Amino acid sequence: MLNIKNLREDFENIKIALEKRGYEINQKFFEELDMERKTLQIEVENLQSERNKFSAHFGELKSSRKDTSDLKKTIDKINAELDKKSIKLNTTLENINNFLLDIPNIPDDSVPYGKDEKDNIVVETFGKVFSKNTKDHLEITNKIDTETASKISGSRFSVLKGDMAKLQRALISFMIDKAIQNGYQEYYVPFMANTDSLTGTGQLPKFKDDLFQTAENLYLIPTAEVPLTNIYRGELIDEDILPLKLTSHTPCFRSEAGSYGKDTKGLIRQHQFEKIELVQITNPADSMNCLNSLLKHACEILDDLKLPYQVIELCSGDLGFSSCKTFDIEVWMPSQKKYREISSCSNFSDFQARRSNIKYKFKNGKDFVHTINGSGLAVGRTLIAILENYYEGGSTMKLPKCLESYFGSDTLKL
RNA sequence: GGAGAGUUGGCUGAGUGGUCGAAAGCGCCUCCCUGCUAAGGAGGUAACUGGGUAACUGGUUCGAGGGUUCGAAUCCCUCACUCUCCGCCA
């Protein structure tokens, strides 16, 4: 959520910044709404002030046993007027709030201009493509079973058997241990979150269709970012303990509405997938440094796995709703002969903090923190990348060295 | 599932209809004192928000939402959450 003060004082610049990401903000609508708010608010508050004064006087009359009937009539009139105006004011305030909740974050000045994903910039490429494999993961192993999953649940689910299930578990442990080594505190969190939490991190109200709702006020989490960030919702944090670094492994649930026909085969795009999430809660002055460090932490995992990847910076037009700057990490997928997203690391500046009311306390004041998060990494896609990049034909294959101790063997049965 | 107790500022916690945005303590800030440290003394210190260049001034907020009342932290109703005891249970 943007600061409404900035909208009042600096609308032009915000408008220009939002245009870079393709968002048209309706200036006339906002200014009329805010003007209406101002008029109504002054009227309501004046009436309240009058009522407060008369009520105090009423008390005085009562205690000296004087007649209050005239005064009561006056107050009744004020209250009747107040009721009418308050309703109007509340409607206006709600309209303003809905308007604000719909506005995406402002891109950082450093974000390259662009219209869509075609304008994203490759920052750096790491590792050489070494695989000659052309088979996709479903062809490489029969232990990833999407047909059985569709019997159990439907499309976009999977059943992993034997070494595939074990490899996934090994990857999770490996990634969590990496995060802990990099100073992140491990958490186990709820896999369902309420409306307030999801509004805080920006999924609601705008992206309700992307979520699975389980009850009136409960949704399956689309990422551990939601529970991890909301640990601090409504909290005031001592500046000394920043940056906070949190991690958790959770399943993630996404309805993938609007992606019909995209990546329909295999593990790439599922309703349920495993992910390790890295979250940092920081001092605003530090947040870009923290984004870089978090990006590095995610990259290290691919370095260790010796998988070829590239880091790309999202252009203004491709930024996610809540983000002011995002780097995606894309891993080489031999069967598709292209790099595919395996992590997305973003700085949300004070956007989530403002929605979630997360502040930090420094010597002479308080202010909203900045939040940063990214995957470290998406487990299913990592598993595919390992299969496809390391496969050399045959019914077994060698695993990357760093996984041996987690997997308990250097060879995977396919 | 049953019974009971609770939810108040950064924290602990008092407050049962107007003088309460709220005692006290802790913490924090400023100043004083002491060679330094420790201790001590004086004062200040809730949040959000409107108007105003400003000095200043108005409003809202005591878990959330309704209600009663001229007036609600305080009375009534609904909901959420927390705790205790009983039952059940991985």
| pLDDT higher than 80, residue A259 | no
> DSSP characters for A252-292?
EE---TT-TTSS-STTSS-SEEEEEEEEEEE-GGGHHHHHH
| pLDDT higher than 90, residue A63 | no
What is the CATH code of the structural domain delimited by A26-101?
1.10.287.40
> Which nucleotide across the nucleic acid strands is nearest to A58, CA versus C1'?
B70
Å between CA of A308 and C1' of B56 = 64
CATH topology assigned to domain A117-413: BirA Bifunctional Protein; domain 2 (3.30.930)
A303 phi and psi angles, rounded to 5 deg: -60, -50
Across chain A, what does the average pLDDT equal?
92
Confidence of residue A282 (pLDDT cuts 50, 70, 90): very high
Query: What is the ipTM for the molecules in this complex?
Result: 0.85
Å between CA of A66 and C1' of B63 = 39
Confidence of residue A335 (pLDDT cuts 50, 70, 90): very high
pLDDT at A380: 96
pLDDT, tens digit (0-9, with 9 covering 90-100), for A216-251: 788 999 999 999 999 988 888 888 888 999 999 999
CA distances from A194 to A68, A101, A225 (A): 49, 17, 14
- Over range A73-102, report the average pLDDT: 89
Taking the domains of chain A in order of start, what are their residue ranges? 26-101, 117-413
Which ranges of A102-210 does DSSP label H, i.e. alpha helix? 137-140, 146-152, 162-181, 195-201
SS3 A374: strand
Question: Closest CA to B59 C1' — which residue?
Answer: A45
- Which tokens go with A80? 């009747």
Tell the residue number behind the tokens 């059943």, with chain if given: A159
- Over range A284-310, report the average pLDDT: 97
Name the percent of chain A lying above pLDDT 90.
71
Distance CA A47, CA A196 (A): 33
Q: How many residues does chain A have?
A: 414
pLDDT, tens digit (0-9, with 9 covering 90-100), for A118-169: 999 999 999 999 999 999 999 999 999 999 999 999 999 999 999 999 999 9
| pLDDT higher than 90, residue A365 | no
Is there a shared CATH topology between the A26-101 domain and the A117-413 domain? no
Query: Which positions of chain B lie under 7 Å from any protein Cβ?
Result: 10, 18, 29, 47-48, 50-51, 58-60, 70-71
pLDDT at A97: 87
